[in-house]
């Protein structure tokens, strides 16, 4: 099957499975949403029941406006309960009817709602407070200010008396505090605060009455005093002129006490209202239990259905995984040759030819693999032929350059003999012509020597004789040989050695590298202003030798090519300085044959720096 056909088929399978999953997801989600809305409304029944109870207590506290709120809450329960029985739509949301399996639980909620609703209706209509109790509370609150004023008067009346009346004064102060507390507790009781307000008010009433009788010298024969821990006391009689406030306090307290006793004996709420509120609170638990049971049963049905849906979803997930694995394996099988092909092409890029791709399928990749195999074989054949031709060319060039060097040696030798006038005197014209012949022969010999070195490096035949040498001495010898050229060109050539540095290298070849670099720097600088400096830098494993000048520099674009054979920065026929373009290539070959590196960098603001390294790993630092 073609790769494109297989791809379309797998794509169709993935789309089909995805469409089924998407449909099931949408359908299940919508169904679950409807059921969840219904469960939410069923749970709202419990919230409404609690709200009705809270509203009833609020009405009991005197909030008459909550009667309207209760009417709304009762209506909400009726509407919600009816909606859950038949289903429908509310606020754009679907609500499903209670399933038949939980219909009995639904009807049980309705049965419990009936009595609860009746009690709520009674609370909504009946009077809240007992009028007599309310009048009693009003009387006590109205007289409380006068009661406090008279107790303060008693304390003022007793203040001029001597220390025999200190106990009287203490009791008077206690009565002032109790009078204030009676007013506060009565107020709390009147606004419906429960708790221990009633018991505290009872204790205050008994204590105040006992203190009043003690000041009046009356007996405490009622057992109720003993129940509160109050014991009789024998006090000195208060003088009549200091008991005016006490005489006025007695009748006022009797009237207030009578009202407090009545309030304590009766509830503030009316009996009918209180009975309805008690029945409502009692019936509330029954209704809440019925509603909770209804909601729990419905949740149980949902859990059961959810379990079945989970099984279905799990089956589809397993199916999706199987389809996904099949698709991945199919795609991987179809694309695996591409990875092999990429590796084979990478090897071709690295220069390894002849690799074959073992893929026999009759698809597009199979055709591509067959084409690549044919191309790889063709490239391998062409590469082998090119290597043979290159070797033959190099060998031929090495032979030609060697043969050219043979006749040039006697030409240069006899030119030097004639210039020395060993064979007779020469006139000025003859000397000029012979100097041209000698200079041209020297240039041609240097060019041929460079060609020989370049070819030997290319063929791996350049002979390197490594010995232990002093690098400082090698640099000094090299500079000494070139110094006349620098002096004649009026260029500064500097070298400031610091100490002896030893390494294992071929001294002649390193001198050849240094000579080439220094001569290049001399050519690149101008007379009088030109400066060339040679430096040494000793490192633990190598020595760095640098040649720095302030000449015209080398363009950045030429930086990656200057070490290639026959490369010229200035390729015009009118360039000032000549050269074969082999010098830096030979330097690179010699340095790398020693295991070092060579590089160039621009010398800001002008000029260049050529540096190369010589390894020192095989050297003992003490001289031999």
Question: Can you give 119-135 as a three-state secondary structure string?
Answer: HHHHHHHCCCECHHHHH
Distance between CA atoms of 224 and 198, rounded to whole angstroms? 16
Average pLDDT, the chain: 79
Q: Which CATH class for the 353-462 domain? A: mainly alpha
Among the ranges given (255-259, 365-369, 444-448), the one the predictor scored with the smallest mean pLDDT: 444-448
Instruction: Flag whether pLDDT at 546 surpasses 60.
Output: yes
Alpha helices in 217-270 (DSSP H): 223-227, 244-265
**Token representation of residue 79:** 């509407």
Cβ-contact 401, 452 below 8 angstroms: yes
Give the model's confidence band at 472: pLDDT under 50 very low, under 70 low, under 90 confident, else very high. very high
Contact 139/263 with Cβ under 8 angstroms? no
Residue 495: cis peptide before it, omega within 30 degrees of 0: no
Q: DSSP character for 386?
A: H
Match domain 465-615 to its CATH number in 3.30.70.20, 3.90.1170.50, 3.40.50.1820, 3.30.565.10.
3.30.565.10
Query: Is pLDDT above 70 for 27?
Result: no
- Bridge partners of 94? 89
Give CATH 3.30.565.10 domain extents, the chain.
465-615
pLDDT at 278: 75
In the DSSP assignment, the letter for residue 269 is B
Alpha helices in 502-620 (DSSP H): 507-524, 583-593
Phi, psi of 608 (to 5 degrees): -140, 165
Question: For residues 515 and 467, what is the distance between their CA atoms, to the nearest angstrom?
Answer: 19
pLDDT at 89: 74
Fold of 131-230+239-268: 1.20.120
The pLDDT of residue 622 is 44
Least confident segment among 89-98, 244-253, 510-519 = 89-98
| 3 pLDDT more than 70 | no
Cα 85 from Cα 97, distance rounded (Å): 5
CATH 1.20.120.1730 domain residues, the chain: 3-124+272-320
Q: State which fold the 3-124+272-320 domain adopts.
A: 1.20.120
Q: What is the per-residue pLDDT for 446?
A: 66
Q: What residue ranges of the chain are covered by domains with CATH 1.10.287?
A: 353-462
């Amino acid at each position: 099957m073609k790769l494109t056909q297989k791809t379309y088929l797998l794509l169709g399978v993935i789309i089909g499975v995805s469409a089924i999953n998407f449909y099931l997801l949408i359908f299940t989600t919508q169904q679950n949403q409807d059921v969840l809305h219904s469960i939410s409304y069923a749970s709202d029944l419990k919230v409404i029941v609690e709200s009705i109870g809270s509203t009833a207590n609020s009405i009991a506290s005197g909030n008459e406006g909550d009667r309207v709120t209760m009417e709304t809450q009762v209506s909400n329960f009726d509407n919600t309960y009816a909606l859950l029985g038949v289903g429908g739509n509310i606020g754009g949301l679907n609500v499903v009817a209670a399933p038949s399996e939980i219909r009995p639980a639904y009807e049980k909620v309705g049965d419990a709602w009936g009595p609860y609703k009746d009690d709520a209706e009674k609370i909504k209509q009946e009077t809240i407070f007992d009028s007599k109790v309310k009048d009693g509370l009003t009387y006590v609150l109205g007289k409380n200010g006068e009661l406090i004023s008279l107790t303060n008067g008693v304390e003022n009346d007793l203040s001029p008396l001597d220390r025999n009346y200190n106990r009287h004064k203490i009791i008077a102060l206690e009565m002032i505090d109790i009078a204030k507390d009676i007013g506060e507790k009565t107020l709390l009781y009147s606004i419906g605060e429960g708790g221990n307000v009633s018991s505290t008010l009872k204790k205050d009433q008994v204590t105040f009455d006992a203190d009043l009788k003690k000041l009046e010298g009356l007996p405490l024969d009622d057992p109720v005093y003993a129940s509160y821990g109050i014991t009789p006391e024998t006090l000195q009689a208060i003088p009549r002129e200091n008991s005016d406030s006490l005489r006025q306090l007695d009748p006022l307290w009797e009237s207030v006490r009578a009202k407090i006793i009545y309030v304590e004996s009766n509830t503030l709420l009316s009996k009918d209202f209180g009975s309805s509120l008690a029945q409502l609170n009692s019936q509330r638990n029954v209704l809440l239990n019925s509603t909770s049971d209804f909601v729990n049963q419905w949740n149980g049905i949902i859990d059961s259905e959810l379990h079945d849906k989970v099984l279905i979803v799990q089956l589809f997930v397993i199916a999706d995984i199987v389809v996904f694995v099949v698709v991945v394996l199919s795609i991987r099988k179809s694309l695996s040759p591409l990875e092999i092909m990429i590796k084979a092409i990478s090897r071709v890029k690295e220069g390894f030819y002849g690799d074959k791709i073992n893929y026999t399928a009759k698809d597009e990749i199979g055709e591509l693999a067959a084409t690549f195999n044919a191309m790889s074989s063709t490239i391998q054949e062409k590469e082998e032929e090119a290597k043979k031709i290159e070797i033959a060319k190099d060998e031929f060039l090495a032979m030609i350059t060697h043969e050219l060097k043979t006749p040039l040696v006697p030409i240069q030798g006899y030119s030097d003999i004639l210039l020395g006038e060993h064979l007779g005197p020469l006139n000025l014209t003859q000397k000029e012509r012979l100097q041209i012949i000698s200079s041209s022969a020297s240039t041609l010999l240097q060019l041929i020597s460079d060609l020989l070195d370049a070819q030997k490096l290319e063929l791996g035949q350049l002979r390197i004789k490594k010995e232990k040498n002093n690098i400082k001495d090698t640099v000094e010898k090299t500079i000494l040989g070139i110094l006349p050229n620098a002096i004649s060109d009026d260029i500064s050539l500097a070298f400031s050695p610091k100490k002896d540095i030893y390494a294992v290298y071929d001294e002649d070849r390193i001198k050849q590298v240094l000579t080439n670099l220094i001569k290049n720097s001399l050519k690149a600088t101008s007379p009088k202003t030109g400066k060339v400096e040679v430096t040494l830098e000793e490192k633990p494993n190598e020595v760095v030798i640098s040649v720095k000048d302030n000449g015209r520099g080398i363009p950045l674009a030429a930086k990656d090519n200057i070490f290639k054979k026959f490369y010229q920065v200035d390729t015009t026929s009118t360039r000032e300085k000549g050269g074969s373009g082999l010098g830096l290539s030979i330097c690179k070959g010699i340095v790398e044959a020693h295991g070092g590196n060579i590089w160039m960098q621009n010398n800001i603001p002008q000029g260049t720096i050529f540096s190369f390294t010589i390894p020192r790993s095989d050297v003992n630092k003490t001289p031999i």
